[in-house]
Amino acid sequence: MRTVSLIAIALLTLALFILELYGMHLYLFWTYWWFDILMHALGGFIVGALAVWFFIFEYPIHSARLLFYSVLVALVVGIVWEIFEYVTGISVNQAQQSYAADTIGDIGMDVAGSLTAYLVFRLFIHE
């Protein structure tokens, strides 16, 4: 199950990469309000899944800590990503007053994706 779950995470990462390329090329982030939400949820899922995978297979810890670390890693990566978006100027709403709300929503979706990854691992992999 260790290898299968890692391959699934790699395929999701490839899908995220392709969606990101198409999203930027076809202006999907600016055309569809929900596309950014989808991308953050998927990104949070991937980051959370990687954290859960690591803490299940490489460094086993108690499941309460597993949840905490999964969310923490997704939160940190989400915040770093938001800083990257701001610094590079690729943020969708950077010039608008709703920028702070958008950023908080993005980080919330990162965390929600991570929580979903934790639940998927708990249901299908971890005892």
Return the domain boundaries, the chain. 2-124
Average pLDDT over residues 105-122: 95
> CA 56 to CA 53: how far, in whole Å?
5
> CA 57 to CA 127: how far, in whole Å?
12
Say if residues 102 and 35 touch (Cβ distance below 8 Å). no
CA atoms within 13 A on the CB side of 18: 6
pLDDT band, very low/low/confident/very high, at 116 (cuts 50, 70, 90): very high
CA atoms within 13 A on the CB side of 73: 23
> CA 82 to CA 26: how far, in whole Å?
21
Q: Which amino acid is at 49?
A: A
Judged against a pLDDT cut of 90, whether residue 34 lies above it is answered with yes
Taking only the tens place, the pLDDT of each residue in 46-97 is 999 999 999 988 888 877 888 999 999 999 999 999 999 888 877 655 556 6
Average pLDDT over residues 42-48: 97
- pLDDT value for 104: 92
